[in-house]
Structure 1
Amino acid sequence: MSKNTTQIRAAVAREKGGPFSIETLTLDAPRRDEVLVRVVATGLCHTDMVARDQSYPVPHPIVLGHEGAGIVESVGADVLKVAPGDSVVLTFLTCGRCKPCRLGRMAHCEKTFPLCFGGARLDGSTATLDGQGEKVHDHFFGQSSFATYALANERNVVKVSSDVPLERLGPLGCGIQTGAGAVMNALNVRPGTSFASFGAGAVGYSAIMAARAVGATTIVAIDIVPSRLEMAKELGATHAINSKQTNPVEAIRDITGGGVDYSLETSGNPSVLHQAIEALGSLGTCGIVGAEPLGTEVSFDVNTLMIQGKGIRGILEGESVPDIFIPQLIELNAQGRFPFEKLMKFYSLDQINQAAQDSEKGVTIKPVIRLLAA
C-alpha cells in the first residue's frame, strides 16, 4: 500500500438489488480541496437503497453511504474550514458556483445529480480500488461513508463540537435535516398553524419534532403501522391517522375544520402525494421530499389548486445551509426539544444487510452503522 493511499473496509454494492459485500479497498489521499475522514458511524437512508436498487441510474460497483460522521484524519493543501482532529458531520455536496448555490439555496444545486449520484468526482475520476485493482465508484453524495474512511470535499463537511457523541450525528447530514428543514426552512411552518406528515419514518418523525419545536398546534401523523403512529404522538403529533383504516383527507378536514396549513409527503408514493395535496386547506402548501422513481407523475385538480390558492413545493435536503442548520439541530437536541436519538438503532458494518432489511420492513426507523469507536 502506497503512503498516498489508505486501506479501508467498506460495504460495496455490486449488483442491482443485491446485498452489500464487505471488502477491503484502497482509498487515495485527499486532493487539494478534499478531506479524509475516519468514519465513526453513518446512517443508512432510503436513498442508499434507491441507489443500491438502481431506481436512480447510479453506477455499480459503488460504495454508498451519505450520512457519515467522524474525525478529520488529513486535509488537502487548500482546505481551511477544518483541520486534523476536528469532529465533523458529512452532508450533501454542491458545486458552490451555480445560481442556486450563489443564492444560498445550495440544496437545489444545478450539479446535484452528478455530484451526489454520479459515482465519481465531476471530472469523472474516482479514488477507490478493490483487491484486484479494479475501480470501485465512490463520492456518493461527495462522501461514500459506508466505510471506515471517507473522502469528502471541504464544502460538504460540517464542523461540530467534540463534546457531542459523533455516532448519533451522521443522520443529521441527510434524513433528519430533510424532515426538519422542510418544516423550518422550506415550508416555514409558523406558530399556531396546522401541519400533517404523510409517512412516519425518520424524515416524517423529524418533521413532526420540528413542527412541535416551532410551535405548530395541530400536528397530524399519517401512516399504516400502529406502532409508528404511537411513537409519532410521543414525538409531538397531536393526532395520528391509520390510512389503512381511515380516509386521511376526510379525517384531516374534520380535525382542522377544512384542511391543514402545511403537509409533507415523505413516503415516495404517488397516491399518498395526491392525498397530501387534497388535505390542504385554503392557502395551504404541500412539500414533497419522498424519493420516487424518475419520471413519476401525479395528477391533481388544477381548479382546486387555483381557487384555494394551494401551493406545491419540491424540497431537497430541507433546503438547509448545513454549516448553519446542523449545529442548530444539535443545540435543539441538547435542550431536549428535538430528540432525534429516539429514532436510532445501531448495527456494525458486518450487519449492514440486516440493517437494510430491518429498515425496509419497518422494524428499524433509522439504522446507524458503527464503523469505529469515537
Structure 2
Amino acid sequence: MSHDNVQKMRIQAAVLRESGAELKVEDVLLEAPRPTEVRVRVVASGVCHTDMVVRDQLFPTPMPIILGHEGAGIVDAVGSAVTTVKPGDHVVMTYMSCGLCLPCETGHPAHCTHMHPLNFGGGRLDGSASSCSCESHAPIHDHFFGQSSFSTYAIANERNVVKVAKEAPLELLGPLGCGIQTGAGSVLNALKVEAGSSFVAFGAGAVGLAAVMAARVAGATTIIAVDVTPSRLELALELGATHVINSRDENPVERIQQITAGGANYSLECSGRAEVLRQAIDALATLGTCGIVGATKFGTEVAFNINDVMIPGKRIMGIVQGDVVANAFIPKLVDLYLQGRFPFDKLCKFYEFDQVNEAMADSERGVTIKPILRMPALTAA
C-alpha cells in the first residue's frame, strides 16, 4: 500500500519555517510507522543547545522542519518488523544511526558514516518525511535526530528508541538521549576517566555538569568546572566538583595547572568556543586527553601550539553523543539516577509545550540549564 494512502494522525508539532524565527505550534498530519519504525506518544522533550544551533541554521537543515531530539514517551504503535519494543513500553529517543557502516558495526554508532543525513537531513535516508501540513498537505521535514520530538507524537526507528524502566520518572528522562548522555558518555565511555585522576569541564551547562557528575561516578579525585556564571559553578560544587573557576576572574589554564600541580589528565570542551578549546588543550598534563563536544558553526577553526601538543603527548579527541551505544548506556544512567548517584534532575526545569520559545530563550540566557517541554495529551483526530 502506498504511504500516501495510509490514514494519517493529526498531531501538534513545533515547526521552524525560517532561519532564526520562533517555532510555531501547528496542527500536523503524521503517517503510520513503516516496518522498522515506532510511533511514540511524546510525554516530554528536553531542549538542547543543538536545537538553537539548527534554529539559527549554524548547522544547516532543510525547512520547514520539526525540531526536538531529547524525547521520552510511550510506544503507541510499531511497524511489522519491530521486535525489541511493543505498545505501552516507556522509551527514550536518542540519535539515529544506520547500523551497517563500519563505525556502527564496530561499536561506534554515534560516529555513523550517515550521521549527518540521518540526524540533520530532515527525513529518512531515502529523503521521505512522515509529517505534512494539515492545510496544504505540503511535506514538513522531520526525523530530526531520527525523532523530531517537539511534537505530541513522533515517528522514530527501532534503532533509536531505548526501553527504560517504568519506575523511572518518564517526563524527566528525555535529556538522557542527547545532552546528558553526551557529557556522561564522554567521561565514562570515550575518555574513560579513571579513579584518582583529574578532570576539567570547560562549560558548566547541561553537558558539562553531566560530565562533572560522571567524573564523580568514575572516581576522579580532582574535578574542576570552568564557567562564567556563578550559579552554575555553585551547582557544579553541589554535583561533585572539587574546584570551580570563573574564567572572567582568573586565567583558567594557570589556575588548573596550580590545582593539579602541572595539568589535568582529562579535559572536556563543552562551550563550542574556539578560544576555550585552546584553553582546554593548554590545561592538560603530559599524556593528557582533551575531548571536544561543544557544537560550533561549520568551518570554525582553532590554533594551538603544535610542539606543546606533540612533545608532551597530548591527545585531542572529537566525541559525538559520548561515543556510546545508547541502548546499553541510557539504562545505566537511569539506574545511577534511581540510586541517587547521578542527580541530573537538579539541572532541569519544566515548561509547557506552548512555551517552547520561552524555554529556548531561558536556556540561551542561562536562566535554565536544561529545559524540558511537557506535551499535552492528545488523541488521533
Deviation at 1:2, TM superposition (A): 7.6
Equivalent residue number for residue 83 of structure 1: 86
Query: 2:235 aligned with 1:231, yes or no?
Result: yes
Aligned residue pair count: 374
Q: Which amino acid counterpart does residue 21 of structure 2 have in structure 1?
A: G
Residue of structure 1 aligned with 2:307, choices 303, 306, 310: 303
Runs of 4 or more, structure 1, over 3 Å off, are: none
Deviation at 1:220, TM superposition (A): 0.4
Equivalent residue number for residue 347 of structure 2: 343
Residue of structure 1 aligned with 2:163, choices 159, 176, 179: 159
Q: Secondary structure at the match of 1:261?
A: strand
Residue of structure 1 aligned with 2:43, choices 23, 33, 40: 40
Equivalent residue number for residue 98 of structure 1: 101
* Residues 301-347 of structure 1: per-residue CA shift (max 9 Å, x gap): 11111110100000000011111100000001111110011110000
Q: Secondary structure at the match of 2:335?
A: helix
Q: Which amino acid counterpart does residue 369 of structure 1 have in structure 2?
A: L
Matches of 1:334 and 1:129, distance apart in 2: 39
Residue of structure 1 aligned with 2:149, choices 145, 165, 184: 145
Tell me if structure 1 keeps the 8 A contact 2:147–2:156.
Answer: yes
Identity across the alignment (%): 61
Matches of 2:160 and 2:80, distance apart in 1: 17
Equivalent residue number for residue 193 of structure 1: 197
Equivalent residue number for residue 18 of structure 1: 21
Equivalent residue number for residue 246 of structure 1: 250
Q: Which amino acid counterpart does residue 45 of structure 2 have in structure 1?
A: T
- TM-score normalised by length of structure 1: 0.99
Query: 2:184 aligned with 1:175, yes or no?
Result: no
Deviation at 1:5, TM superposition (A): 1.2
Equivalent residue number for residue 262 of structure 1: 266
Matches of 2:32 and 2:6, distance apart in 1: 8
Deviation at 1:373, TM superposition (A): 6.0
Matches of 1:183 and 1:278, distance apart in 2: 19
Deviation at 1:4, TM superposition (A): 2.4
Q: Secondary structure at the match of 1:150?
A: strand
Equivalent residue number for residue 357 of structure 2: 353
Alpha carbon RMSD of aligned pairs, Å? Answer: 1.2
Residue of structure 1 aligned with 2:211, choices 207, 211, 233: 207
Equivalent residue number for residue 275 of structure 2: 271
Query: 2:33 aligned with 1:8, yes or no?
Result: no
Matches of 2:370 and 2:292, distance apart in 1: 20
* Residues 38-80 of structure 1: per-residue CA shift (max 9 Å, x gap): 0000000000111111101111110000000000000000000
Matches of 2:360 and 2:366, distance apart in 1: 10
- TM-score normalised by length of structure 2: 0.97
Tell me if structure 1 keeps the 8 A contact 2:168–2:338.
Answer: no
Q: Which amino acid counterpart does residue 175 of structure 2 have in structure 1?
A: P
Structure 1: which 5+ runs fail to align? none
Matches of 2:186 and 2:323, distance apart in 1: 7
Equivalent residue number for residue 115 of structure 2: 112
Deviation at 1:3, TM superposition (A): 6.3
Residue of structure 2 aligned with 1:55, choices 31, 51, 58: 58
Q: Secondary structure at the match of 1:305?
A: helix
Q: Secondary structure at the match of 2:331?
A: helix
Matches of 2:75 and 2:5, distance apart in 1: 20
Structure 2: which 5+ runs fail to align? none
